[in-house]
Amino acid sequence: MEVTSLYREPERRQQLSFPALEFHDVFKIFRSGPAETVALRGLELRIEPREFVALYGPSGSGKSTALHLAAGLDAPSAGDVSAFGRSIPRLGEAALADYRGREVAIVFQNENLWSDLSTRQNVRLSLTLGGGRRRGISARVDRALTAFDLQDRARQRAGLLSGGEQQRVAIAAAAAREAPLVLADEPTAELDVRNEQRVVSAFRRLRDDFGSTVVIVTHSARVADAADRVVEIRDGRLA
């Protein structure tokens, strides 16, 4: 399958000359009254374009916190997080909204879809809300549904899909949006082994066929083993 057109654009070629993600001496401290919780302690991490990386470790180790910082959903207490050469905490409001809409796609553990809409409608709406190119939307939706074996579920209401199918729809939406960076937070936590394997294979296809950088937070050794590289985080640091 041909890599999606987004990666043939000159500005994208320039973008991909930088690390996809870079954490430099990142601390994240949560405060509740006088109490403090240090989630990340000087995290140093570099992820290259088109890598498939698993952030692996026990619950509470700081994996999801790192993912939220990479998504621009939170800001570090100290240090810097950059994506494709741009410091995420230093982006202005409009640039940050553009980053969230066009550059990064997030696949959560659940509740990624509008349950009353069909599979096709979910993928199309995600693409529309993400901004970017309006040309050829229907073709991009069709291509994504076909790539992830969802064409026979195109008219099925998302709320009636299995958990594994719902995650594959969320991955297809990221592919249709041509997101260069895809972040997934425990996307297989509620799935059986068979569906876990299918979802992990879908992430690999997202990397191989659509050129995305994929970062998965997981505590599953099976999921971690399927990645190109495993980054183990414990107590907010690289293990």
**Phi and psi at residue 218, in whole multiples of 5°?**
-155, 155
Given a cut of 80, whether residue 10 has pLDDT beyond it is: no
Q: Which two tokens stand for residue 58?
A: 């026990």
pLDDT, tens digit, 9 for 90 and up, residues 37-61: 999 999 999 999 999 999 999 888 9
Segments making up each domain of the chain, as ranges? 5-111+179-238
Q: Is 31 exposed, middle or buried (0-12, 13-18, 19+ CB in 10 A)?
A: exposed
What kind of fold does domain 5-111+179-238 have according to CATH? Rossmann fold (3.40.50)
pLDDT of residue 3: 38
pLDDT of residue 130: 72
Mean residue pLDDT of the chain comes to 90
pLDDT class of 7 with cuts at 50, 70, 90: very low
Q: By percentage, how much of the chain surpasses pLDDT 70? A: 91
Given a cut of 90, whether residue 2 has pLDDT beyond it is: no
Given a cut of 80, whether residue 135 has pLDDT beyond it is: no
Single out the residue of 20, 6, 25, 15 nearest to residue 83, CA to CA.
Answer: 20
pLDDT of residue 132: 57
The pTM score is 0.90
Q: Which two tokens stand for residue 148?
A: 């992830």
